[in-house]
Amino acid sequence: MKFRWFHKIIMLVVPAFFFPAGCSSPEPPAPYGAVPTKYQTDWQKLEYYMFVHFGPNTFTDVEWGNGREKPEVFNPSDLDCRQWAATAKAAGMKAIIVTAKHHDGFCLWPSKYSAHTVRESVWKNGKGDVLKELSDACREYGLKFGVYLSPWDQNHPSYGTSEYNQVFSNTLDEVLSNYGEIFEQWFDGANGEGPNGKKQVYDWELFHRTVFRNQPHAIIFSDVGPGCRWMGNESGVAGETNWSTMNVEGFAPGREAPSTKILNTGEPDGNAWVPAETDVSIRPGWFYSAATDNRVKSLDKLMDIYYTSVGRNSNLLLNVPPDRRGRIHPNDSARLMEFRRAIDETFAVDLAKNAKFTASHTRGQSSKYGAQNLADGNFDTCWATDDRQLSASIEIDFGREQTFNRLTLQEYIPLGQRVKAFSVEYRDGNEWRLIDRQTTIGYKRILRFPTVTSRKLRINIEESLACPVLNGIGVYKAAG
C-alpha cells in the first residue's frame, strides 16, 4: 500500500520536473489587416516571368494598331512557341503572358466573336492558333500560362455600345475555357472611342465574374487588381516603400484608377491585398522592331530593374517581343541568359546559412519562433515577437569575418505585411555602423550597399504595424 502511494507521488512530480510550466508553444500571431489568398501567395513566389507582345503591330512596326490593318499582315514565317518557352525556362522565368488581343482587336486565336483574327490571316492558311501552340509549349516546359485581353477593341463594330460588354465577356469565356489553366488574366484600362464616337463603359463586375467562373484561381491584373496591381510606370521601378495593400473601393482601371504615386507605393492601411507587378520591356518598345535590335537593355540595366522590382516587393513581368519570324531574337535571348547567370551567381552562396542568429525578442521565448528559423530556407517557419512587441533586433554572427554587399529580407505574408521601418548595421570593432535605413519589406526586399567586411550583422525592426513576422534573411557577396 505504501509503495503504491509513493509511486503515485513520483508519477505526479516527475512530469512537473521535466516539463515546467510555460514550456508549451505560444499562440501563433494572428493575421494583420488585409492578407493574400493562397493563390496570391503562390503568385508572389513566381517572382519573374515573361510578357510577350505579338500581333499585327509586329509586322506594321507600330506600338498601337488602329484595328484597320488587314489581317493578312500577320504572317510569321517560322513561328515557334516552343522556342519562346525554352528561352523563358532557360532564363529562369516561371511563366509567359501573351497579348492574346491588343487594342487593335486582332485575336491570336480563331475567335467566333470577331472577324479580325488569325483565321482571316494567311498564316497557316487561316488554320493556326497561337494560344494553343503557346499553352501547349508552356505545359511542355513546366511554365504557367497567362493571357492579356484588352477590353478596348478598335475593330469590333459593337465597341462603344451596350452590346459590347457581353461580346467581350464571351471572348473571355472562349479563351479561358479552351487553353487549360490560366494563372493570370491581364487587363488594362485603355478605353478609346468606338465607331459611334463613344467610349465603352466597361462592366468590370461582369468581366471579373467571367474570369472566375472559368479560372477561379486566376490572378487578375489591373490598376486595382483584384489579384495584383500595376505599379504606376513602365520603367521597372517599384516604390522604395511598397505596401501590398491598397484601398480599392470607388476606383476602377484606367481613368478612375488611384494616383500613380499610390499605385507605386500602395497604402499601409489598405483594405485589400493587391500586390504590385512591374511590367517593363527588354527593348524601347513593346512590340518587335528591327530598328531596336541593337537597343536591347544592358545587363547592368536589367540588374537595376531586378533590384527595383523583385527587390522591392514586386513581381517582374519582363516583355520579350518575338520578331517577324515568330521567334525571340538572338540579341534578346543572349541578354536573358546573361541576366540569369548574373542573378544566379549573385545569390549562389548565402553567407548566413550556417551563421548563428539571435534576437532581442522572441515570441513566448519559444524556439518555434526563434531567430534561427530565418536561415532554414523554409517558407513556413518564421521568427516573431510577442503581440505588443513592435520593435526588435536580429543579430547574425558569421563566426568569422565575411565580405558582403547584398541582403535579402522576407516577411511571412500569409499573416499580412507589417514592417514599416527597419535599419541594417554591421559590427566594426566595438561599434555598430549603419549600412542602410529603409521602410517596407513585404514578400521580399533586397538591399544593395557598398561592400563591407565584418563578423556580425544586425537588422533592427524599428517600427511595425503589428508584431513583426519574418521568414527569411540571406546575406550575399555580388561580384563587381
pLDDT 10s digits, 367-388:
999 999 999 999 999 999 999 9
Q: Could you tell me the CA-to-CA distances from 401 to 149, 257, 320, 375, 449 in Å, in that order?
A: 53, 50, 42, 18, 17
Mean pLDDT on 468-480: 96
Same domain, 191 and 277: yes
**CB 128 within 8 Å of CB 106:** no
Same domain, 324 and 449: no
Distance CA 216, CA 193 (A): 32
pLDDT tens figures, 137-151: 999 999 999 999 999
pLDDT at 14 over 70: no
pLDDT band at 253 (very low <50, low <70, confident <90, very high): very high
Same domain, 333 and 376: no
pLDDT band at 2 (very low <50, low <70, confident <90, very high): very low
Q: What pLDDT score was predicted for residue 199?
A: 87
Q: What is the CATH number of the domain that holds 114?
A: 3.20.20.80
Same domain, 337 and 371: no
Question: For residue 20, is the peptide bond before it cis, meaning its omega torsion is within 30 degrees of 0?
Answer: no
Same domain, 245 and 370: no
Q: Which residue has the cell 503591330?
A: 57
Q: Of 415, 310, 338, which is closest to residue 94 (Cα–Cα)?
A: 310
Boundary (domain end) residue, out of 320, 346, 372: 346
Q: What pLDDT score was predicted for residue 35?
A: 98
Q: What pLDDT score was predicted for residue 181?
A: 98
User: What ranges make up the beta strands (E) of 181-286?
Assistant: 184-186, 219-222, 228-230, 245-246, 272-273, 276-281
Same domain, 55 and 203: yes
- Number of structural domains (the chain) is 2
Mean pLDDT on 407-413: 98
Same domain, 307 and 380: no
Q: Is residue 22 part of a domain?
A: no
What is the grid cell recorded at 20? 515546467
pLDDT band at 156 (very low <50, low <70, confident <90, very high): very high
Q: What pLDDT score was predicted for residue 298?
A: 98
Mean pLDDT on 239-255: 96
Q: Is residue 6 part of a domain?
A: no
Helices (H) and strands (E) in the chain, counts: 10, 17
What φ, ψ does residue 330 adopt, rounded to 5°? Answer: -55, -35
Q: What pLDDT score was predicted for residue 10?
A: 33
Q: Is residue 419 part of a domain?
A: yes
Q: Is residue 29 part of a domain?
A: no
What is the grid cell recorded at 476? 550575399
pLDDT at 261 over 80: yes
The per-residue pLDDT of the chain, averaged, comes to: 94
Q: What pLDDT score was predicted for residue 15?
A: 35
> Between these two residues, 70 and 19, which has the higher pLDDT value?
70
Same domain, 374 and 334: no
pLDDT tens figures, 35-75: 999 999 999 999 999 999 999 999 999 999 999 999 999 99
Boundary (domain end) residue, out of 314, 346, 378: 346
Q: What pLDDT score was predicted for residue 341?
A: 98
pLDDT tens figures, 339-367: 999 999 999 999 999 999 999 999 999 99
Same domain, 198 and 249: yes
Q: Is residue 1 part of a domain?
A: no
pLDDT tens figures, 442-452: 999 999 999 99
pLDDT band at 195 (very low <50, low <70, confident <90, very high): confident
Q: Is residue 4 part of a domain?
A: no
pLDDT at 3 over 60: no
Q: For strand 245-246 and strand 272-273, is the pairing parallel, antiparallel, or unpaired?
A: antiparallel
Same domain, 323 and 365: no
Q: Which residue has the cell 537595376?
A: 304
Q: Helix 330-346 to helix 299-308 angle, to the nearest 10 degrees? A: 60
pLDDT band at 198 (very low <50, low <70, confident <90, very high): confident
Q: Is residue 13 part of a domain?
A: no
Structural domain of 381: 356-476
The answer to whether the Cα torsion of 248, 250, 254, 258 is positive or negative is negative
What's the helix, strand, coil split of the chain in %, to 5?
Answer: 30, 25, 45
Distance CA 277, CA 246 (A): 14
Mean pLDDT on 216-240: 97
Q: What pLDDT score was predicted for residue 119?
A: 98
Contacts of 338 (CB under 8 A, 6+ apart): 299
Boundary (domain end) residue, out of 346, 381, 404: 346
Mean pLDDT on 218-234: 97
Q: What pLDDT score was predicted for residue 193?
A: 84
pLDDT tens figures, 286-330: 999 999 999 999 999 999 999 999 999 999 999 999 999 999 999
Q: Is residue 136 part of a domain?
A: yes
Same domain, 230 and 109: yes
pLDDT at 168 over 70: yes
Same domain, 308 and 446: no
Mean pLDDT on 247-265: 96
Q: What pLDDT score was predicted for residue 480?
A: 72
Mean pLDDT on 248-259: 95
